[in-house]
Amino acid sequence: MSDGHTKHGHKKHGHTLSIGDEVLWRGEWGARKPKRAKIRALESTLGYGTKHGRHVSQVEWPDMKAHVLVTLDNGHWAYGFQLEKVKQ
């Protein structure tokens, strides 16, 4: 389908951030060099800087910068603004 969805109605990978996705994470509030990490858990929050939210399996990339808290496979957690897509 050409509308950005799969034949099952789900968003195509690349427009969403999902559990298991690999991202580039910048530690120390985004000040460190990026390191690869995988998403272990996602929380949709009420806004920037919120530490708790509703557990979800995926979020839209445009929304995630201000409304997401993630748990990473490297033992860290991060806000959405600390993450970037891994370019394939």
Beta pairing partners, 85: 23
**pTM of this structure:** 0.75
| pLDDT bracket for residue 88 (50, 70, 90) | low
Alpha-helix residue ranges (DSSP H) falling in the chain: 27-30, 61-67
Tell me what the pLDDT averaged over the chain comes to. 81
**φ, ψ dihedrals at 82, nearest 5°:** -85, 0
Rg (CA), the chain: 13
pLDDT value at residue 41: 96
What are the boundaries of each domain within the chain? 16-85
Residue 9: pLDDT band by 50, 70, 90 thresholds?
very low
* DSSP 8-state assignment for residue 12: P
pLDDT > 70 fraction of the chain, expressed in percent and rounded: 83
